[in-house]
Amino acid sequence: MKSISFPDLLFSQGFGTRRICAGLVQQGLVKCDRGDGLQLVDDSEAIEPTDGMAFQVQGVDWQYHAKAYVLLHKPAGTECSHKPSTWPSVYSLLPSPLRQRPAKTGLQGVQAVGRLDQDTTGMLLLSDDGQFIHRMSSPKQHVPKVYDLVTEDPLNEQAVQKLLQGVVLNDDPKPVKAAACVLTGSHQMQLTLTEGKYHQVKRMLAAVGHKVVGLHRARMGGLSLPTDLAPGQWRWLSAADLMQINAIN
């Protein structure tokens, strides 16, 4: 990473236009920890940033990340859209710098890796890395996504076998199979998919005669949703997390 000015650093992290970022520095509202505690910076100073480097803007702590990789525990009653139609947007749960990060494409800020229905809870990844989003979303990559679901009526092994063998959805003549399927209760099942079609879990269960009344995504790749991350909370993905996500076997 080459050295950049602090206004450019703030701009890259989503703190506003370059003019706004320069104003924040000039007003003495930016401090950076270069290993010896938070120190005031000026707009003529250049720095070679590293991932995780701590700084502070208007008294708010932040970390530098060349690319943003974020995990959000999606709560029910939210839409995975920047322009929601009925329910609040999941993006409203994120701080404004994540929503305003500049991008070379027309889409500003981090983007969701796939979508979850408004009533579905659980693990949602977001990033401004287009290659990462494609790799995690593409059915050709076979990234497993694990769902815990609850049905209106009791489940049985016959339903499990049908889901493993493949069911036909009304928009695709090719059968869709579950990568794994295990009963976890009389009305509960853990289902693993490696592709993502519209309302896929609910439609697959409907194809075997069951209505889903609760749906939660528990894992993507080799990374599970942390038990200490409450609905509506988010955190940065660490290098170790990214390695776990890619450990899909």
Exposed/middle/buried for residue 163 (C-beta within 10 Å: 0-12, 13-18, 19+): buried
- 33 catalytic residue (yes or no): no
H-helix segments, the chain:
6-12, 18-26, 96-100, 130-137, 157-165, 200-207, 239-246
CB 94 within 8 A of CB 105: no
* 142's tokens: 């076979």
User: In this structure, what DSSP letter does residue 139 have?
Assistant: G
> Rounded to an integer, what distance in angstroms lies between the CA atom of residue 225 and that of residue 56?
28
Out of 8, 43, 117, 119, pick the active-site residue. Answer: 117
Q: In which residue are the tokens 């999941």 written?
A: 90
Q: State the pairing for strand pair 234-236/69-74.
A: antiparallel
- By annotation, the residues acting in catalysis are 117
